[in-house]
A and B are shown apart, each in its own frame.
Chain A
Amino acid sequence: MRVLPYLLIWCFLSACTSGAIDNGNVDDPFENFNRKSYRFSESVDGNFLAPVARGYARVTPDPIEEGIRNVFKNFNNAPSAINGFLQGDVETGFNELSRLIVNSTLGLGGLIDLATIWGINEKKEDIGQTLAVWGIKESPFIYLPIFGPTTLRDLPVRFVGMSMPRLIIGEDFPGYVTALQVISQRADLIEVIEQRDSNAIDAYAFTRDAYIQRRAFEIYNGDPPVEDFFDEFEEE
């Protein structure tokens, strides 16, 4: 009986794969909700988060900004290692574990990304990629208010990412760390979002498709299947 909730979740996620990709177009059954959520999130971002992130990027010296970025990156080495092993990719699992150990100790608690300097490059595995490897290749797109783009399969990734600092620091976790994490991540996206806004005609569709493509890139470790765009036309 204890297994039943997990079976139901699995069935739900698996059922999501029945939302087929039509000629490469994204499965977006919640589009009405997603567009409203996107507009709301952009409003909050434009009025509050983006100005704060720009201010942070402007006043924070680059080495300190990089140090803060490295600390948060280091928090994710632990779940990345676990997910590497869960996918049966032992090499990646040990790679991420090595990064965690090297950066946490010699890298002064993650401030210095010594592992990358030594050639132990980041692999960035997560639970969403693990579920994809286990068979849930496609999943409906959802745009969460404030949190941004994800799929039903990738939902846990958001919560793990935000929870890791609290889990690692423990009871003494200061609340401002979450705020700093959000601002640091938003600052890293300043240029990308500016480029999207200057190039996109339908920014929501652009964001949705870019997210799905990026995830495919990560799931297939940089080598996703090549889509045959001409397939549809060769049937004519």
Chain B
Amino acid sequence: MQITYSLVVVWILCFLAGSIEASESQYHFEIKKVDEFHEALIQVMQSPNATEREKLLFPKVKALYDVVSISRISVGRAWRSLADSQKDEFVALLTELIVATYSDRFREYDEQYFELLGTEPINKGVIIKTSINKRNDQLATLNYYFRGDQVFNVVANGISDLSLRRSEYGSIIKEQGYDQLVKEIKNKTNEIKASY
């Protein structure tokens, strides 16, 4: 009886271990993309200056983030009425803002490290769940939302970056118009860069 019970427990454990491995190998591509981005963030934190940081970040941000979708969702209904040139301009501006924000936030290296916490399938994609830690403390959880092969949203400690953008940008467009939003984004990017 005891041997049978032990065998059942071992079988269940093997099954679970297999399931976790299967889940991670199923999303191997997305996990690898996030890992590469995190490695870049470590290098950014160890970089001597802002120019170096931005040079490292720009291609990584473009590779990881679906800035076109982020732009479309955060601008909302107004996106449909924009000319193609305006859309291209907005995507470029938003990419620059994202790079500047990362460069500003990840300035100092103090033995931070990233950890994979798990994956969760969603409609047409997956959430790659990670955390950023320092020594034994978890500083924040960072969940990357993939649709296709790029990220459209990051949720940090339960707060969705895309939801915040949509709320802010929608508010500015409603009160002051799309052109004012473009101006505000440029001003914010310059402000962040001035504070490096």
Contact = CB atoms under 8 A, between A and B. Distances in A.
Contact of A213 (B104, B127, B158, B169): B158
Interface in B46-80: 69, 72-73, 76, 80
B124 to A, nearest CB: 8
Given A198-B104, A201-B188, A213 B168 contact: no
Interface in A1-42: 23-26
A205 B168 contact: yes
Nearest to A236: B80
A210 B164 contact: yes
Interface string A185-221: 0000000000100111110111011100110110000
A202 B166 contact: no
- Chain A interface size range: 20 to 34
A175 interface: no
A224 B158 contact: yes
A228 interface: yes
B159 A201 contact: no
Interface in B126-152: 127, 147, 152
A70 to B, nearest CB: 17
B43 interface: no
B123 interface: yes
Contacts of A208: 167
B19 interface: no
Contact of B158 (A198, A201, A222, A229): A222
B163 A209 contact: yes
B121 to A, nearest CB: 10
Most chain B beta carbons < 10 A, residue from A209, A228, A233:
A209
Contacts of A224: 158
Contacts of A172: none
A206 B158 contact: no
B101 interface: yes
A24 B168 contact: no
A26 B171 CA distance: 11
B170 A25 contact: yes
A230 interface: yes
B185 interface: yes
A59 interface: no
Contacts of B122: 226
A210 B168 contact: no
A198 B163 contact: no
B151 to A, nearest CB: 12
Given A224-B158, A230-B147, A206 B164 contact: yes
B163 A24 contact: yes
Closest 10 CB pairs of A and B: A217-B158, A209-B167, A205-B171, A202-B168, A205-B168, A201-B184, A205-B167, A229-B73, A202-B171, A213-B159
Interface of B: 69, 72-73, 76, 80, 101, 104-105, 122-124, 127, 147, 152-153, 158-160, 162-164, 166-172, 181, 184-185, 188, 191-192, 195
18 contacts: A24-B163, A26-B167, A202-B171, A202-B172, A205-B171, A206-B168, A209-B168, A210-B159, A210-B164, A213-B163, A216-B158, A217-B158, A226-B127, A228-B123, A229-B73, A229-B152, A230-B73, A230-B124
Interface of A: 23-26, 195, 198-202, 204-206, 208-210, 213-214, 216-217, 222, 224, 226-230, 233, 236
Given A227-B163, A233-B72, 19 more contacts: A24-B166, A25-B170, A26-B167, A199-B192, A201-B169, A201-B172, A205-B171, A206-B168, A213-B160, A213-B163, A214-B159, A216-B158, A217-B158, A226-B127, A227-B160, A228-B123, A229-B73, A230-B147, A233-B73
